[in-house]
Structure 1
Amino acid sequence: MRRTFLKGLAATAIAVTGLAGAATAQSAAEFYAGKSIDWIVPYEPGGGYDEYSRVIAPYMEKYTGARIDIVNMPGSGGMKGAVEIFNAPTDGLTIGIINGSAMITNELAGIEGADYKVADYNFLGRMVADIRVMVASAGSGITSIEQYMDNGQAEVMGATGLGGSTYVDAVIVGDVFKMDQRVVHGFNSSSDIRTAMLRGDVQAMWGSLGSALSGIEDGDHVVILHSEANPTGVLEGVPSVFDLAANAEDSDYKIKILQGWEGLSAVGRPVAAPPGVPEDRVAFLRDAFEKAMNDPEFVAGAVESKRELLFASGVRTGELAKAATDLDEATRKLFIAAIKGEI
């Protein structure tokens, strides 16, 4: 009888302990319910990064159950805010949007103040990214990348300042494929390059698909090469850099360089949490961000306001960041030379 009584006490104690454990084990959803999340924007109010953040904030609130407080933290070309996110407490209550491409180039070039490792962020996902396109002027008569490369003369490629994206695109892709071209830099803006193309002073340029669309639709420009592995729309039927590399000598090496180059722009405008946030909270935030980005009301609003969206998951964004920063020595030297305008 005594032994049975003791067994009963032990069973009761185990059951109570189990209930207590269940009561104290808090899910990520329970953690975020009613909390406040600081969303850092590394630029002044009113710009594109700020607008994207404020538009998606209500939907992040909807799917996290937390309040989103937008905190503008401009400085050092976006680095101040990026560093703030990277060094934030690891409780998952500080996230933010960053300029992924600029932060990667700053890290690679060892710019003062780049006190972060882009690949170490806990990415929730990407809001938008630039697909890079190489266009030739209709007046040049060039209609294909093969014609550009084998025209029997050095074609003139326009670019903005040394180390800018139009310059980096031109010299890295040009180096990979040994293009016979002359990169003329120093234009104040991409529109200035387009004006020079209309005059016939420049035959081609690199830029984002978004900024090139009007010239393509007007018939002033022809897309002859691009960075998109799965092209759609105006890019269908146009070879990508990966198509060229697949049929070239040293294919594997070329593809490795191009994957790193693609990552510079493909990381785009990601939303990130700092390293060290518990995995369940990261997973919860990633899920909330994906739901927000695919919310029909949010998407309809973006379409109406002509705000581009190009979602990528947190996992995929992290892969792109790693590809752009985890480089072998030769590739790293090439990228740094391009970023510093030494090619």
Structure 2
Amino acid sequence: MTATGVVKRLDEVVDDFARRARFFREPMTPGRARTFVRQHRLNTRQRNSVLKLRVATNCPIWDLRVRIIAACAEEVIADHAHGGGRPHWQILEELGTRIGLGLDEIRAAEPLPSTLMCWHAWDGLMSNRHWLEGLVANTCAERVNVPGYGIGLVREQGWFGMERDRWGKLFGLSDDQLEFFGLHTEADIAHSNLGWHAVADHAARLGMEDAAVEACRVNLIVWARHAARNHELSARVLVEEQRVDRGFLDALARRHDAVVDQEERGPVGERTRHRSAERRRHDEIARLGEARNVGRHEVGALVHDRPQRHVERREDRGGNRVRVDDAVDLGPGPEDLGVDEHLAVTRQPAAEHFPVQVDQQELLRADLLESEPRGLHPEGVRAGDAGGGVAPDVVPLPGGSEHAARFREPALQRDLSRSAPCLRRLLHGLASWSGIDGPLLYCQALLGWRRMKRLPLLAVLVALASTVPAQAQSRFFEGKTIRIVVGFSPGGGYDTYSRTIARHMSRHIPGNPTIIVENMTGAVSLLAANHTYKVARPDGLTIVNFHGNQVVGQLLGREGIEFDARRFKYVGVPMRDSAACALTKASGVTTLEQWRSAKTPVKIGAVGPGDTSHDVGRVLQATVGLPIQLVRGYKGTAEIRLAAESGEVAGGCWQWESIKSTWRKALEGGEVSIVLQMAPKPLADLPNVPVALSLAKTDEARQLMQAGIVVPTAISRLYALPPGTPDDRVQTLRKAFLDTLRDPELLADAGRAKLEIDPIGGEETERLVAELFKLDPDVAAKLKGILR
């Protein structure tokens, strides 16, 4: 099982849980919402100030430990990335006051008995297990909150996205008042991506794939109890509704009983005092469980369970019982130690008590697979027999000599044996390097034996060598994880495009790698672009999705840009966008003529420099002389729409595809009109709307529009690889990107999500970017002044 494979298995567990979880489908009530505020505030503080720090304490990897601590600090001290400098429990308090709770009431809330029980169970999962299992236990609890799992609205918006809509309808709150859910989703995506990457990196190395998956499954049992109907699901419901294996619970119970039995056999003194404390703790938890029809075994097992170990006991010839481990030995268990020593061992840092044996030769072979061709040496041909003759050649395959022996073809080998030995070795070397199961079988399938026998050896070599790049890419991408780093928040247009592409693109990449989406918000996607350019490894496994206006930003010398757009390796653009200006009927401006003759500037909402909503207004103001007053500072187009509907602004200018998708009802009802479009020619669905380029009176004005609006908008949804990415991987991903965007399954998916598909390939994207940097220096200087 590869590291990527274990992430797939974890995703399947989370997805299955999200599909079956009852509380996703239960109605929201005021009482349930208020209980959520009280208990989630307590839970956030407990998990991030106590429980997750247990994992950090056990983790021997410094960088990962620091990241875990940083994530905890965001939740309980100050989150500048996803909370405006406020901790999440404080944002939740503000939400609670909007649904009828007082601050004193929220802060005086006590944990429900079932919440206490869950804390004890989580303490066992995060303290008494291997740090990787603890990391999984925490991460999968965050993963169930984000989009991409389950069905329906849960899959599209994530749990908190769905809750935002339900709370808005129940309490009549706006999106701004419900910011907790959006911010929490962003944080959960960022934190769970961190955890998932750590699992992908370390699970295979530690030999803990199965243990990681089991930790995820056990944690979701606890998570269900915490989240569902005030945490009152019984063990019976967990078995029946969540399809949890009853035998698994029984196995946990037996393990717990073994610990308790060992306690009973302990001597008096310190061990007795420890036993009494542990027994009191266990009895207290068991009573809490019995009050809610949860058996002693289920609760106790979850609390006291330790790292999953696959241990078999056998007797040797002398009748002595010995242990045979079929996985990495994770240290002595309760059957080997008294309970004091057992608890001491399981609470020690993993580096000391969870040894890992690594085959150095295996690592060396793995490195060679990705760094240089294998098989281009004399050992690629088997030595002759004792008589000195040439034995039938065997292609050196990873499966070993028995596997390779099946590919002998004496008839053709007689022909090859007459050729120069170096060519014969090259043929076998190419086959070994490319991963083809024998060049002979490959050529037979491609050409047929009769035809192939008549071909010169050079032709055979050419046919085989032509397949090497694709086979090499398959070997590289197989078992890997590709990250699409989106520079905008979850749920928006950029994020939706990326998640739709990620669901389908793997099928079109040789080796079928896993593809995940991460959100790195900030500065209109500038943070994501800078990070990918400066930090991401140029190995073809990181794709950034950022705003095309940032390319213009570099051209104009905008502050904060730390990349050279000409050095990115562009994968393509899923939708050739065009901007349009939409104004409300209430503003009194519904045509271009009314706008041009307006006696006072028309207020246009904008995000800020570098965003289409800002740059379009500035360029139109400078080139066409439209009376415009830009109102900047909105967080996104959703806020601009709300401001327009409330009369704060008249409307805004941004991507037409976004406008017609998100403002569809207002457009159809005549409450909003499209007054101007920024396409090179009229769009098919806007045939009668004026085109801005036609209003330009000078060549300079047309250049300013082209460089400031038309091209940046066309490539606004850029997908790019870091500089230095190998050309063969760039070409593989460019082809896969276009193939994905022509895939009928993706097109059907995009249709359901109201996403338009009109792709631009990587080569054309690269050309458009290069053309921007050919802009006349004087025009560029003027554009810089306009877009300041």
Taking structure 1 as the reference length, the TM-score comes to 0.78
Partner of 1:277, secondary structure, is coil
In 2, distance between residues paired with 1:207 and 1:52?
A: 17
The aligned counterpart of 1:190 is: 640
- Is 1:56 the counterpart of 2:507? The answer is no
- Give the alignment partner of residue 156 of structure 1, picking from 602, 610, 619: 602
The answer as to whether partners of 1:45 and 1:72 remain within 8 angstroms in 2 is no
Establish whether residue 104 from structure 1 lines up as the match of residue 551 from structure 2.
yes
Letter in 1 for 2:653: W
1:110-144 Cα deviation digits (max 9, x unpaired): 323x2212232111111246421123443566554
Give yes or no for contact 1:162–1:339 (8 Å, CA) kept in 2: no
Q: Aligned equivalents of 1:126 and 1:42: distance in 2? A: 13
Q: Does 1:282 align with 2:690?
A: no
CA distance in 1, matches of 2:588, 2:499: 45
Identity %: 22
Matched, 1:263 2:711: yes
Q: Helix, strand or coil for the counterpart of 2:629? A: strand
Q: Deviations over 1:273-318 (max 9, x none)?
A: 2223343332221111111111111111121133443422112322
- Whether 1:19 aligns to 2:464 is no
Considering only aligned residues, what root-mean-square deviation do their CA atoms show, in Å? 3.4
Q: Which residue of 2 aligns with 1:207?
A: 654
Counterpart-to-counterpart distance in 2, 1:137 and 1:10: 82
Counterpart AA for 2:747: V
Aligned-pair CA distance for 1:226? 0.8
Q: TM-score, normalised by structure 2?
A: 0.37
Cα displacement (A) at 1:266? 2.0
- 1:63-86 CA deviation, whole Å, 9 max, x = no partner? 113313426362644344323433
2 CA distance for matches of 1:338 and 1:178?
Answer: 12
Partners of 2:591 and 2:686 in 1: how far apart?
A: 12
User: Is 1:296 aligned to 2:744, yes or no?
Assistant: yes
Cα distance in 1 for residues equivalent to 2:569 and 2:702: 26
Alpha carbons 2:618, 2:786 under 8 Å: kept = yes
Aligned residues of 2:569 and 2:721 also touching (Cα < 8 A): yes
Task: Say if 2:490 and 2:519, in contact at 8 Å, map to a contact too.
Answer: no
Q: Map of 1:108-123 to 2, 5 A cutoff? A: 108-112=556-560, 114-123=561-570
Between the aligned partners of 1:221 and 1:314, the Cα distance in structure 2 is 36
What's the counterpart of residue 5 of structure 1? none
- 1:31 aligned to 2:472? yes
Q: For residues 633 and 733 of structure 2, what CA distance do their matches in structure 1 show?
A: 42
Structure 2 residue aligned with 1:272? 720
Larger Rg: 2
Q: C-alpha distance in 2, partners of 1:306/1:182?
A: 31
Separation of aligned partners in 2, 1:186 and 1:75: 18
More helix, by proportion: 2
User: Counterpart of 1:6?
Assistant: none
- Alignment-derived partner of residue 685 in structure 2: 234
State the alpha-carbon separation in 1 of the partners of residues 694 and 763 from structure 2: 25
Q: Is the 8 A contact 1:135 1:224 kept in 2?
A: yes
Contact 1:132 1:206 in 2 (8 A): yes
Q: Which residue of 2 aligns with 1:4?
A: none
Q: Of the candidates 41, 59, 66, which is equivalent to residue 485 of structure 2?
A: 41
**Residues 481, 514 of structure 2: 8 Å contact kept:** yes
Structure 2 SS opposite 1:309:
coil
Instruction: Give yes or no for contact 1:229–1:240 (8 Å, CA) kept in 2.
Output: yes
Task: Name the amino acid aligned to 2:690.
Answer: P
Report the Cα distance in structure 2 between the residues aligned to 1:71 and 1:168, rounded to whole angstroms: 28
- Give me the whole-angstrom Cα distance separating, in 2, the residues matched to 1:270 and 1:222: 28
Is contact 1:133–1:207 with CA below 8 Å preserved after alignment? yes
The corresponding residue for 1:3 is none
In the alignment, is the contact (CA less than 8 A) between 2:486 and 2:528 conserved in 1? yes
- Measure, in 1, the Cα distance between the counterparts of 2:655 and 2:643: 13
Equivalence map 1:121-140=2 (5 Å): 121-128=568-575, 130-138=577-585
Match of 2:781 among 323, 333, 338: 333
Q: Which amino acid aligns with 2:732?
A: F
Q: In the TM superposition, what is the alpha-carbon distance from 1:172 to its structure 2 partner?
A: 0.7
Match among 216, 221, 232 for residue 667 of structure 2: 216
The gaps in structure 1 that reach 5 residues or longer are 1-8
Deviation at 1:271, TM superposition (A): 1.9
The match for 2:622 among 161, 175, 199 is: 175
Q: Aligned in 2, Cα 1:35/1:324: closer, same or farther, shift over 3 Å?
A: farther
The unaligned stretches of length 5 or more in structure 2 are 1-416, 434-464
Counterpart-to-counterpart distance in 2, 1:79 and 1:86: 11
Q: State the one-letter code of the partner of 1:185.
A: V
**Contact 1:41–1:50 (CA<8 Å) still a contact in 2?**
no
Relative contact order (alpha carbons < 8 A, sep ≥ 6): 1 or 2 greater?
1
Change (3 A) 1:110 1:40: same
The separation in 1 between residues aligned to 2:630 and 2:728, in whole angstroms, is 50
- 1:326 Cα deviation from its structure 2 partner: 4.6
Number of aligned positions between the proteins: 322
